[in-house]
Amino acid sequence: MSSSKVTVEERQDMAPMSTPHHHSGRHFKTYFLILLVIIFSPLGNVLLSTGMKEVGPMTFHSASQFFGVFAQVFTSGAIWLGIASLFVYFISYMLVLSWADYSYVQPATAMGYVIVALLGHFVLHETVTPLRWIGISLIFLGVLVVGHTPPRTTEHR
Amino acid sequence: MLKELVLLFLIVFAGTGGELCVTRAMKKLGEVKDFRPASLARTIFRVLGVGWMWLGVALMALAFFSLLGMLSLESVSFVVPVTALNYVAGALGGKFFLGERVMGRRWAGVFLVCIGVTCVFFSRR
């Protein structure tokens, strides 16, 4: 029991030392949460996709079919892992937004679109055509531009 | 094709509508300053009394199931980029529903997202 306590304390000691900066603790926290956002949002979507491909195309011709699909969805391990990933993403995103600027965090969200395409291509072996890459790049740029506007407009001026 | 369009419509409009309703409910409640568990629990309890919250959560759930439906039909490198239309709906909703001022620069970004989504949409085999 006491040994696990020591490791936690060691970790807390090491984090601020890794960057010789005044607010290094907060910087570390911010980078760490942004990293979680970048990893868990695309991962969640890829896992949901994997799960849904196992379930098969959703069709709702009858009520019994609907509940059948519903049961399959909520007994799929991949879907639950996907939901858990999106939950981690959502919590990290909310937490980081409670102190960091929206425009500072926005590039991380934009990156998600590129990462999800990379994962789709390399992990799920989806065909990503050049036109789709162009589209994804434009979306990435668009999100960056949107993020570069003041985060609050309802009280200024 | 029609099914995909309906699902995309639900993902974007139910998702954004849900977030707008939740934003409205939270603004009605006021800024959350106390993060101690007991007062957080009280905040959650109070927010359940705001009608907008219920509508918001219902809409977000609808958007989530539409996303699952869409992922059962299409590849993830198609579905996630086209849902970037959320930024378009968000800018429109922020302007007309919450009375936020959306400036030229943001519209330019929204325009880029629109072109990007169009490209991705036409890259569907």
3-state secondary structure of B33: coil
Task: Judge whether residue B101 has pLDDT over 90.
Answer: no
Say if residues A82 and A48 touch (Cβ distance below 8 Å): yes
Of B67, B68, B109, the CB nearest to A142: B109
A78, part of any domain: yes
This prediction's pTM: 0.78
Among B43, B62, B75, B117, pick the best mutation site for testing chain A contact (most A Cβ within 10 A).
B75
Contact list in A for residue B122 (CB cut-off 8 A) is 131
Say if residues B60 and B19 touch (Cβ distance below 8 Å): yes
Query: ipTM value of the model?
Result: 0.80
pLDDT digit string, tens, across residues A60-105? 677 787 788 888 888 999 999 999 999 899 888 877 877 777 777 8
A69, part of any domain: yes
Instruction: Output A146 or A23, whichever has higher pLDDT.
Output: A146
In the prediction, which pLDDT does A1 show?
37
A86, part of any domain: yes
Instruction: Output B21 or A134, whichever has higher pLDDT.
Output: A134
Q: Do A57 and B125 touch (CB under 8 A)?
A: no
Q: Do B81 and A124 touch (CB under 8 A)?
A: no
Of B91, B99, B120, the CB nearest to A136: B120
Say if residues A78 and A50 touch (Cβ distance below 8 Å): yes
Domain span at A120: 27-147
- CA–CA gap between residue A134 and residue B43 (Å, rounded): 44
Of A113, A124, A154, the CB nearest to B81: A113
Task: Judge whether residue B81 has pLDDT over 70.
Answer: yes
> What are the CA-CA distances from residue A95 to residues A8, A34, A37 (Å)?
21, 10, 11
How large is the average pLDDT for residues B103-122? Answer: 91
A16, part of any domain: no
Contact list in B for residue A57 (CB cut-off 8 A) is 72-73
A118, part of any domain: yes
Contact list in B for residue A121 (CB cut-off 8 A) is 77
Q: Give the number of other CB atoms < 10 A from CB of residue A37.
A: 24
Band of residue A115 on the pLDDT scale cut at 50, 70, 90:
very high
